[in-house]
Every structure is written in structure tokens, then in C-alpha cells.
Amino acid sequence: MFISKYNKVFSQYYELRSAVLSDSARKHELCYLKRFDKYIADSIQSDEDVLLESFMCKWISSLRGSSVSIANEVIVIRQFLKATPHNSTNN
């Protein structure tokens, strides 16, 4: 389901979140997580271990859609980062 070097982390997080989300929220969250996972797979170098704020800014600038849609996606990904070991954006 996930393709980046963080695929296990994404899968574990999504499994935990699925238990508490409605069907609609689960579908949206999976879509956002998969898009971010693909962005990581396409953008991050294999020797990079953390997701830095500069990386997050580049990702956010690549998002398209309404400001509400972008905000929702960013919220989901920031929650994911806070809940995982790859949380260098918590500076």
C-alpha cells in the first residue's frame, strides 16, 4: 500500500488510526498518507533519515487545491509525523 522507505511506519500508523476513524475520514486519511508517501518516495534521498521542516515546506508548496483541502491534508500529515519516530518537524 505504501512505497517509501517509511512504508512500515505509514502502515502501522494507518492501522491504528483506522480503528478510531469513520469510513469517510479513513478514506481521506489514507489518500493523504499515500500522497505524502509517494512524495517522499519521489523526493527523499536514500541516506536521509529524517523529515526536516524544509522538506515539509517544499511538500506543502507542491499541494494543489482549495486552501481548506490543503489545510486538511497538512493537518493529517503533521499528526502522522508527531505520532511517529520521524518527527523532526516538532522544533
Residue 30 pLDDT grade (very low, low, confident, very high; cuts 50, 70, 90): very high
Q: What is the pTM of this model?
A: 0.86
Mean pLDDT score, 15-27: 96
Helix ranges, the chain (H): 7-18, 23-43, 53-62, 67-83
Query: d(Cα 15, Cα 19) in Å, to the nearest integer?
Result: 7
Residue 54 pLDDT grade (very low, low, confident, very high; cuts 50, 70, 90): confident
Mean pLDDT score, 32-38: 96
Res 77 pLDDT > 90: yes
Query: d(Cα 38, Cα 63) in Å, to the nearest integer?
Result: 13
Domain boundaries, the chain: 7-83
